[in-house]
Amino acid sequence: MSGTAHTSDGPADRRTLSGPLPSGPDPATVATAQRRTVRVLMSAQVVAGIGIGSTLSAGALLIGRLSGSEALAGLSTTSATLGAALLGIPLAALSRSRGRRTGLGTGWLIAALGALVVLLGARLGRPEPVLLGTLLLGAGTATNLQSRYAAADLADDGNRARSLSLVVWSTTVGSVIGPNLTGPGEPLARALGLPEEAGTFLFSTVAFVGGWALNHFLLRPDPLRLAAEVARAERGRIPGAAAATPDASAAPRFTARFAEALRVVRAVPAARLGLVTVVLGHAVMVSVMTMTPIHLAHNGAGLSVVGFSVSLHIAGMYALSPLVGRLADRIGRIRVILLGQALYLLTAAVAGLAGSSHAAAVGALFTLGLGWSFVTIAGSTLLTESLPAAQRSEIQGLADTLMNLAGAAGGAVAGGLVALIGYGGLNAAAALLTLPVLALALAPRTRA
């Protein structure tokens, strides 16, 4: 159960519950709550994910119009990524102290506030408030990422990866629908006296508030709080364990809890592998994905080819997530992580040698997205189940923050690498980031 720290590669070494837990919920109650939690999280991801998808390109277009500068327009994505990195840990700490319902709900409300600030900037005709708004919109990305961990709070070893992957998969809907709201938003913006690019942020505001409402009213019982009850009950079964293991609320200072969580990660090889996997895997994905559409355009690909390549990449990231989660539950997290690294290396080889071939570059974007799905689902699951419940949420927030920072760094240096060593060189450099993951995954201590 969720209160157990374990580092095994997969579900072979399960702990099962027989009968009601002492002073805690019985297994049937936990199983019912887990199914409800996954359904609510998936629904919230679909609704609020539309808000994230609809703002991806609209922010850059709006800032470009208001500032007249392409350089400032490019800061829109950077600002949103930075916002996600800055808000990841505070939102995780809020979940830890007040429960997932409060933590996730607050994230969606901050994102809704960000959309309103963008609309204010559009009304004033100033790019500065729009940039501030996109920074706050990063809370939506941070909440989107932390929702996958909420799906694993009550899961057992046999379905933890599948539960997590279902929430990741539900993001697909928003990724597809959101960008298509730019067109319907144009007449709405004109009717309100706003720039046409601002219309989609009206939809985003409604979507984020909808995500908050679903979490606030339906995410009951709170999965993280119920998981803490299960952990306390499990400790009560072991003589002396309750006294030896501090309660989740025993350390009021965030800095002390966070320092202890970092010590746990350093001490647990599987947790270290999970953290490194999701962080470096995100850097690989963002750096190659950022430059591939540009590489295609420079080699004569039309907008339809570029658009198809991005759609195929997103499909690789999300569409097969449930199958990836089921595979991770069946054959083990570490094996799926290794398969993800193999997909990254295949991507680097195919894309690096693609030359002017559009088909090779487009196919490589799909395997890149699929590799991201493998490493993110398996790495996040391994990280979650390798940590004691008392330190879990802080490390999950840290992992998301480092993911976003790594992605921002990868995207920032990708253009310079292409200028220095070409598109093939960029893929070779990205392939090198798989080496630390492979070293940790194959180490005897990690696989013990």
With 0-12 / 13-18 / 19 or more C-beta atoms within 10 angstroms meaning exposed / middle / buried, residue 252 is exposed
The angle subtended at Cα 412 by Cα 406 and Cα 415, nearest 5°, is 130
Residue type for 103, please? G
pLDDT per residue rounded down to tens, the chain (448 residues): 444 444 444 443 333 344 444 556 788 999 999 999 999 999 999 999 888 877 766 787 788 888 887 667 667 777 888 899 899 989 998 998 999 999 999 999 999 999 999 999 999 999 999 999 999 999 999 999 999 999 999 998 888 999 999 999 998 887 777 767 777 888 999 999 999 889 989 999 999 999 999 999 999 999 999 998 888 887 766 555 444 444 444 444 556 666 777 788 888 999 999 999 999 999 999 889 878 888 888 888 776 787 788 778 888 898 899 999 999 999 999 999 999 999 999 999 999 898 888 899 899 999 999 999 999 999 999 999 998 877 788 888 889 889 988 988 887 788 888 889 999 999 999 999 999 999 999 998 776 6
Q: CB-side exposure of 412: number of CA atoms within 13 Å?
A: 12
Nearest to 407 by CA among 317, 291, 279: 279
Nearest to 34 by CA among 138, 207, 151, 204: 151
In angstroms, rounded to a whole number, what is the distance separating the alpha carbons of residues 336 and 377?
9
Contacts of 378 (CB under 8 A, 6+ apart): 161, 277, 324, 328, 333, 334, 336, 337, 340
Contacts of 303 (CB under 8 A, 6+ apart): none
The torsion angles phi and psi of 146, rounded to 5 degrees, stand at -70, -20
Torsion of the alpha carbons at 239, 244, 249 and 252, rounded to the nearest 10 = 170
- pTM summary value: 0.80
All domains of the chain, ordered by start, with CATH?
27-236 (1.20.1250.20), 252-447 (1.20.1250.20)
The angle subtended at Cα 68 by Cα 67 and Cα 70, nearest 5°, is 100
177-192 burial by CB neighbour count: b if 16+ within 10 A, else e? bbbebbeebbebbeee
CB atoms within 10 A of CB 366: 19
User: At which residue do the structure tokens 């919230």 appear?
Assistant: 44
In angstroms, rounded to a whole number, what is the distance separating the alpha carbons of residues 16 and 421?
54
Secondary structure letter of residue 168 according to DSSP:
H
Contacts of 347 (CB under 8 A, 6+ apart): 288, 364, 367, 368, 371, 427
Helix axes 127-150, 358-385, angle to 10 degrees: 60
Residue 404, token pair as written in the block: 């976003």
In angstroms, rounded to a whole number, what is the distance separating the alpha carbons of residues 44 and 77?
23
